[in-house]
Amino acid sequence: TMLGVKVLCCLLVVYQLNEAKKIKGSRAAEPNGALKEPHASLTSFRLFPEDEDECTVDPLQLHTLTSCGFNSSNPLIIITHGWSVDGMLESWILKLATALKSNLIHVNVVITDWLSLAQTHYPTAVKSTRSVGKDIAHLLQALRVHYRYPLKKVHLIGYSLGAHISGFAGSYLEGPEKIGRITGLDPAGPLFEGVSPSDRLSPDDADFVDAIHTFTRESMGFSVGINQAVAHYDFYPNGGDFQPGCDLRNIYEHISQHGLLGFEQTVKCAHERSVHLFIDSLINKDKQSTAYRCGNKGSFDRGVCLDCRRHRCNTLGYHINKAHTGASKRLYLKTRSQMPYKLYHYQFRVQFVNQMERIQPSLTISLTGTKEESGDIPITITEPISGKASLTFLITLDRDLGDLMLLKLRWEGTDVWKSVWNRVKTMIPWGGAEKQPLLTVGKISIKAGETGNKQYSHNSI
């Protein structure tokens, strides 16, 4: 029956979202007016880590800051949560705050608490996002006035609705100086997808804006995370629509680990993955994930986008390269299902020469590098090969093989041809080609995304 309640809860969410859709058009846009003091608000700010006195930061009582340990020579990071079902601060907040504090050390970390406004109907919570953004802007304005604290030392990190709140905070601050950076962690989709840039997180809101999109799978006309690009660099791990380790097959594992709470964990899994990818970038400094600019998920999966020239690739997470041209760039990468999330990307291009009719072989590749061996990697070819076909595909590995020395390509045809084609061929070092009656590999090229190294086979038919 507990499970029944949870399911009902989820249906209600969907119902709320549908209600939200109806009011979408009529939502009155409040202009971003100037900041007026004094300002009463339901938002509270807490300096992390908290001591016994609970260091709540009051924008009107800034002297409390110093006693709480705020150091105005250090950067300020403000973490803002999203919509809340249970009115409790989610556990990722302290994980992220701890990762920031323990890895960056000389940094002030503040947590925005707008739970009293966030624990309502989703559309109502959405309506509060502007005013919470304004509260953050007030705090930053007070710091600017009383401490001469520069906005460029501020980094806002917002999850879900918190991403748009952070954007609003940026747009309320007037003058030429902007907030240094805003990071949107799977910015919320419902009521924000497709609206004008001033009504959501956008690249105008800070000197630098980055976003990680992890749950953009659409169902019933909505996706939990926003699909469109909203930043200077928009990262789409695993295509952005769903994350490894979050599929329903894992629900039983989650339930056995977390009890019935596991059900909710599964629902939140892909949305919250954005946060854990960011935490990963702080914790695993030697395993920074690289993402590549690409037109769409399909092209990326064919391996054609592994290019790092002219800002075409960037590092996901805290250590991103902030050089940008202004326009939004969509970047893609594959990740593991758990920390460390990094995968190494390789593009393979295999040219087949096939004199017979269309064939659909199954391929297995194994690689030997200066550091490690890959083991067998199966490759699925979705389209039959006919004539002189060149296939391009992406392979990912969870470890760095070093410089590639040896590649083995093994293929099997459909049952009829199996006995003929079943052979192992060593391609590198590049020996003379063996005569093959039905399927011949003409040329293989490999490109390692992370190092940019390219290698080609030299034998041709």
State the minimum distance, in angstroms, from the CB of residue 50 to ligand NAG.
17
CA-to-CA separations, 408 to 368, 383, 411, 449, in angstroms, rounded: 9, 22, 10, 20
135, 186, 234, 280: the active-site residue: 186
* Active-site residue flag, 232: no
State the minimum distance, in angstroms, from the CB of residue 69 to ligand NAG.
8
Taking the least distance from each CB to ligand NAG, the nearer of 83 and 149 is 149
Q: What is the 3-state secondary structure (H, E, C) of 198-243?
A: HHCCCHHHEEEEEEECCCCCCECCECCECCCCCCCEEEEECCCCCC
Task: Report how far apart the first and last C-alpha atoms of the chain are (Å, whole number).
Answer: 67
Query: Using an 8 Å Cβ cutoff, are 431 and 414 in contact?
Result: no
Torsions phi, psi for 401 (to 5 deg)? -85, -10
Residue span 77-116 as binding mask against ligand NAG, x where in contact by CB under 6 A, dash where not: -----------------------------x----------
Give the whole-angstrom CA distance, residue 9 versus residue 178. Answer: 40
State the minimum distance, in angstroms, from the CB of residue 74 to ligand NAG.
5
Which amino acid appears at position 390 of this protein?
A: S
Query: Using an 8 Å Cβ cutoff, are 189 and 162 in contact?
Result: no
State the minimum distance, in angstroms, from the CB of residue 410 to ligand NAG.
57
State the minimum distance, in angstroms, from the CB of residue 320 to ligand NAG.
22
CA-to-CA separations, 171 to 44, 176, 212, 270, in angstroms, rounded: 20, 11, 20, 29
271, 276, 324, 345: the active-site residue: 271
Binding of ligand NAG by 63 (CB under 6 A): no
Please state, as a whole number, how many other Cβ atoms lie within 10 Å of the Cβ of residue 148: 8
Residue 403 is labelled as binding a ligand: no
| Region binding ligand NAG by CB under 6 A among candidate stretches 67-75, 143-151, 348-356, 361-369 | 67-75
Query: Using an 8 Å Cβ cutoff, are 163 and 186 in contact?
Result: yes
128, 160, 274, 374: the active-site residue: 160
* Active-site residue flag, 186: yes
Which amino acid appears at position 27 of this protein?
A: R
| Region binding ligand NAG by CB under 6 A among candidate stretches 69-77, 139-147, 176-184, 411-419 | 69-77
Query: Using an 8 Å Cβ cutoff, are 77 and 100 in contact?
Result: yes
Taking the least distance from each CB to ligand NAG, the nearer of 74 and 315 is 74
Which residues, 320 to 359, sit near ligand NAG by CB under 6 A? none
Out of 71, 116, 321, 370, point to the residue binding ligand NAG (CB under 6 A).
71
Taking the least distance from each CB to ligand NAG, the nearer of 143 and 229 is 143
State the minimum distance, in angstroms, from the CB of residue 155 to ligand NAG.
15
For the chain, give me the number of helices (H) and strands (E)?
Answer: 10, 19
Residue 205 is labelled as binding a ligand: yes
Instruction: Report which DSSP code applies to 31.
Output: P
* Active-site residue flag, 271: yes
Out of 74, 250, 366, 368, point to the residue binding ligand NAG (CB under 6 A).
74
Q: Please list the alpha-helical segments (H only) found in 83-121.
A: 91-104, 115-118
Question: Which residues have a catalytic role annotated?
Answer: 160, 186, 271
List the binding residues for Ca(2+). 200, 205
Interacting residues toward ligand NAG by CB under 6 A? 71, 73-74, 106
List the binding residues. 200, 205
